[in-house]
Structure 1
Amino acid sequence: MSALPCPCGSGSPYRDCCGPLLRGESPAATAEALMRSRYTAYVRRDEAYLLRTWEASHRPAALEMDDDAWLGLEVLATEAGGADDREGIVVFVARYQDQAGVVAEVRERSRFARQAGEWLYVDGETHP
């Protein structure tokens, strides 16, 4: 699996892209990198990573991970979220196929914050 393209759509192999982040070997360098790794965590159903990278005051106790098949991610825009920023925004669309075979998408404007040098997901506004 590690030589396969990363699910986040970067074009890099999983082992070089989101793999080190999900394994806890390195933190995300930018808010966008964290968002991409979180998408990959949804694809891989890695609830522990999703919760670990969620800002504590907004983090749920648990997630309901369904069996939807994630089909792709497209980053539409970013605001700040670089190595020297404390906050960032990533706007994206993620496509999936539900258990009934219906293809749909999630559009979200996600907020991120860097705390103690580590990017964390704060919350997001979903759009139809």
Structure 2
Amino acid sequence: MDLLKIISKKNNRLVLKLLSQYNKLYYSAIKKELGIYDKLLNNALDELVNVGLVKKEIENPKVRTSKVYYSLTGFGKKAVKLYDYAEQLEKELEEELEEKSLISINGSVGDNNIIANNIQNSKISFKK
């Protein structure tokens, strides 16, 4: 099993993030909330159940139209933390790149003072 590959799939990520917000949800609530086609949602849920990230519960197995509930397993809750960690890393990287791209130039040309900040975005102002 390649866990990172499984949790990086868009629909799997959406399902896991949604289930992390609720204790458990039934199938049609997940479908309504995410707006995913049945086949894609079924594939995502089946894969997540098969690898042990999501638990499937049938309200009344003897009734054909019984509601099916889904919830995160303990392992699934740990896996969802990877999304939070990845978002934190992306934010830190973005801030680091932003800091590196900030260059300030102060000088004068004739009677004009030149103040240039963030050369990468070409924001240059002239002051007299």
The two structures have a TM-score, normalised by structure 1, of 0.25
Larger Rg: 2
Higher strand share: 1
> Comparing both chains, which one has the higher relative contact order based on Cα–Cα distances under 8 Å and sequence gaps of 6 or more?
1
Q: Name the structure where helix makes up a greater proportion of residues.
A: 2
